[in-house]
Amino acid sequence: MPINDTLNAFVDHGRIDVQTTKEGPLAGLTFAVKDFYDIAGIPTAAGSPEWLATHPVPTVSTPIYDRLLAAGGKFVGKTHTDELAWSLNGENAHFGTPINPAAPGRVPGGSSSGSAAATAGGLVDFAIGSDTGGSVRLPASYCGVYGIRTTHGRIPLTGAVPLAPSYDTAGWFARSPEIMEEVGKVLLDNARPARRPKKLLIARDLFAAVDVSVSQALQPALDHLIKLVGTSEDVDVAAGEYPAWRNVFRVIQSEEAWAAQGEWIQAVKPKLGPGVKERFAAAATMDPKEIAEAKVLREKIVARMLSLMTEDTVLIVPTSPGIAPLRNTPADQLDVFRARAIELLCLAGHAGLPQISLPVATLDDCPLGLSIIGGRNCDEDILQLAVEMGQA
């Protein structure tokens, strides 16, 4: 029976129930998939009516979908995404904005907006998203749910629309850490038993970069984590260079996004929505010298992150600079907030690291997330730490 979508979380062309088995670790759980992944027999719109009109209906599904069905999950539909996944707000000019159940007057975050909203509103038990620059982690913080960006390349993205391939990752949302962990056991390649981190690194410079009210709201959860792990150390991750780290992300993402979608945009000339239109226009005229310099700096950033992130170490950062912005916030204000958010979110992206946002705090009656970043391929470790944190 179709879900009563009271949140505008689901796309009209993807309202289909599928269950192939009632046996497996995900038996009894329902899930949705961001309309950025191909599912055989269901159109993919990628948040764009022109994409929907110019691409054939897929005949092969993303392996992510097949794995979830084989594990007993029940698929109940595809969810809204920001246009071509290039936004962090969740406001789609063509298909509307999903309602944020935890803060109805505020944006749900994007680009995995429908998946976050559907999960937060209890329409599904978990939902699949994708994360390039924060498209799972930020909506998770805004909507008060768990959300993970996995190690880059750990889960094949076959059947997903590309945005910036060197940053693109699969991720998912759930309201409980136990479900987050169970989904990970199904989706993560070469899954292994979780290991307890031995040391907690607290990103002193990034906590200082957010408003005092944000860091104060997160402090009780941070104290719990310190007590849970036992050993902690304050570190300066970017040493004041996080605006430059954000710019590196902007430049490389733009180059890769144009390489992935520029030919289609030039041929179709889609009517892109605000923000997305300007980003693709800028991407079309990137300076090769700026791109080359950004790639050199990215390597230094990766080296810095990997020097911190050993297999037995996790890094704690604020997920977001604040609570979800109000719906219809002026574009210039959103751009400022987006820049601040990317300064926090680009760390894991540059180095291809896993990061999970925990719904551990509120501010002004709105959700606020705290993030754990793990070493490469340590997804299981941060998922298990989230479970222990939830139990504590």
Residues designated as active site: 34, 111, 135
Placement of tokens 């820049």 in the chain: 339
- How far apart CA 315 and CA 372 sit, in angstroms, is 6
- 75 phi and psi angles, rounded to 5 deg: -85, 130
* Pairing state between β 169-174 and 232-235: unpaired
- 3 phi and psi angles, rounded to 5 deg: -70, 140
Backbone torsion region of residue 249, taken as left when φ is above 0, otherwise alpha when ψ lies between -120 and 50, otherwise beta: alpha
DSSP conformation class of 274: T
Read off the amino acid at residue 289: K
DSSP conformation class of 110: S
- How far apart CA 5 and CA 16 sit, in angstroms, is 13
Placement of tokens 């063509």 in the chain: 94
DSSP 216-244: HHHHHHHHHHHHHH--EEEE-SSTT-HHH
Structure token digits, residue 342: 């990317």
The rounded Cα 187 to chain-centroid distance in angstroms is 16
The rounded Cα 227 to chain-centroid distance in angstroms is 27
Compute how many other C-beta atoms are within 10 angstroms of the C-beta atom of residue 308: 18
DSSP 329-374: --HHHHHHHHHHHHHHHHHHHHHT--EEEEEEEEETTEEEEEEEE-
